[in-house]
Each structure stands twice: as structure tokens, then as C-alpha cells.
Amino acid sequence: MEIMDSIKKLIIPTIVSAILATIISTYIGSFLVPLYTNRPVIDYYLDTPQNYSSLGVQSIHFNSQNRGGFDAHVTFFLTFTNGTFSDKTDMPYQKIDDSKVEFYYILHSHMENPTKRQVFFMINNGTPGFSIDLTIECGDHFNEKIAYYATTLSYNKTSNNLYELFEEGDDNPPAPPAFDYTYILIGIIISAIVSCGYILIRRKE
């Protein structure tokens, strides 16, 4: 009889916990799954001019696109090595120093075409080469950032006073694998079972 009572004390809380866990995980999952599947998916890259003149003000375009289901709040950073940012660039932007500038964007969901931004700069006098680097920060949960084409460009000076492209970084890398949100749900279920079981056992004590 005592054994049966012990089994009942063990089985009943477990069954109730499993039911509660299923309800909780389904309720929470109904928010998490859409949040992940509709996450911002951001493509960003630089145009790739093959050469630049050593004289005067030059420019570079960077591109960005959100193919996901939610809007994304992003900040792009453009950094010049052996180059100087030019205030000929249209506002808005935030100049960090002479060689680095940031651009804040709200990229709306389901963009069909990328936005294109022109940034002006000057190549430092006498430098044998220079580079341009594009990076991104995004505060949205589950966002996926994909650096397509090129996000870093390097140029060397040639004999005819031109700077020619000799290296493109991050050239069309494979897209990162999608994270399986099933693991999130499994974690929620296990946590809910343990928590509910503990509460019910404590109550029976």
C-alpha cells in the first residue's frame, strides 16, 4: 500500500507537470517561433570599383537589404585605412573620426531591392595603398546578417597614379546555417516540467 502511494505521488505530479509544460511551451512557442521565422535577414555589401584616381574626392557605395519579416534597426560602420572621410557625403551620418563614420538605418521588412548609399572620401597623399571596410551592428533578436559580395576592399597604387583593386574580402560567402528553433522549444519543455514537478512535490510535502 505504501509503495502504491509512493508511485501515485511520483506519477501524478509528473503527468500534471507534463500537461502544464505542454501548455506553457505551446503558449510561449507561439511567440518564439514566429519571432524566429520572421527574423530580419540583412544583406550588406560594398560596390567594387576596379580603380580610383589618386587625385580629388572619391566615392564608394554600400548596399543593404532586409529580406526578413520584421523591420531591423541597424548601424553600419565604414572605415578607411589611409583614407579620409569627406563631409561632401549627404546627411544623416555620425562621424567618429577622420577615417570612420557610422550610418543608422531602419531597414523595413520584405525589401525587394537594396538601398544604396554614396559615401565620399579622399585618399591620403603619397600612400602606397588604401582599404575600405564595411561592418554592421544590429540589436534585433534572432537577426541574421549576411555579408554578400564584398565588405572589405583593398587597393594598391600603380605606376600611372591609379589605385587598382587587388583584394576583395568576404567575397560571396555561404549563408550561415539556420538555427533550429526546435532546441528552444525542447529547452522550454524540460524547464517547465522540472519547475512544475518541483512545485507540485513541494506542495504534497
pLDDT digits (tens, 9 = 90+) for 69-109: 888 888 999 999 999 999 999 999 999 999 999 999 888 88
Nearest by Cα to 105 from 145, 133, 52, 149: 145
Which tens digits make up the pLDDT trace of 120-129?
999 999 899 9
One-letter amino acid of 192: A
Integer Cα distance of 105 and 111 in angstroms? 13
Give the pLDDT confidence score for residue 177 in this predicted structure: 43
Helix H or strand E encompassing 28: helix 2-37
Q: For residues 101 and 78, is the Cβ–Cβ distance under 8 A?
A: yes
Query: Global pTM?
Result: 0.66
Integer Cα distance of 135 and 49 in angstroms? 18
Give the pLDDT confidence score for residue 179 in this predicted structure: 46
One-letter amino acid of 77: F
Which tens digits make up the pLDDT trace of 138-193?
765 555 666 566 889 999 999 778 999 987 665 444 444 444 455 555 555 666 56
Q: Chain-wide mean pLDDT for the chain?
A: 76
